[in-house]
Amino acid sequence: MRVLVLNGPNLGRLGRRQPEIYGTTTYDELAAHCVAWGADLGLDVDVRQTNHEGVMVDWLNEAADAATPVVLNAAAWTHYSYAVLDACAQLEAPLVEVHISDPRQRPEEFRHHSVVTPYAVEVIAGQGVEGYRMALEVLASR
Ligand code: DQA
């Protein structure tokens, strides 16, 4: 089974970006982990990151067209992007929402709402990069 692991803005700087919140694993390390974790679960994992909302919408539309399951960390778009919401609403296969931190426990109120959650079969937050492994396990078990 093919799976898309899609990452939104600023996640390309993982490891250097606020390590006290997001940890020290780099984006390249995360991507390699996801491919290896997926292989262990029999999944063919394609990991991508973009800072451009339209690119993310294109990738979600691609997943909708091919009925590909998705692990999505929409980063800041999680909290306000109706374009991402509309794209998630069109998905045919399961979507798992992932966050490295737990946005609902963070002080900024704008992080407490997610436009993705209504379309997700599960939300995994606050587990660090391990959350991606858990998300792949959810998809593999379905
Ligand atoms: C994040 C949480 C979001 O609030 C934030 O904007 C991010 C990363 C996370 O993985 O913890 O960019 O999605």
Query: Which residue ranges have their beta carbon within 6 Å of ligand 1?
Result: 10, 73, 75-76, 78, 99-101, 103, 111
Rounding to the nearest 10 degrees, give the CA dihedral for residues 29, 63, 101, 140.
-80
Does pTM surpass 0.85? yes
Which residue carries 């929402």 as its tokens? 97
CATH number, domain at 107? 3.40.50.9100
Closest approach atom of ligand 1 to CA 74: 13
The parent domain of residue 19 ranges over 2-140
- Nearest CA residue ID for atom 2, ligand 1: 75
User: In the chain, how many domains are there?
Assistant: 1
Q: Which two tokens stand for residue 4?
A: 């898309």
- Nearest CA residue ID for atom 8, ligand 1: 75
Bridge partners of 6?
Answer: 48, 72
Q: How far is CA 34 from the centre of its chain?
A: 11
Average pLDDT for consecutive 10-residue bins of the chain (142 residues)?
Answer: 98 97 98 98 98 99 98 98 98 98 98 98 98 98 95
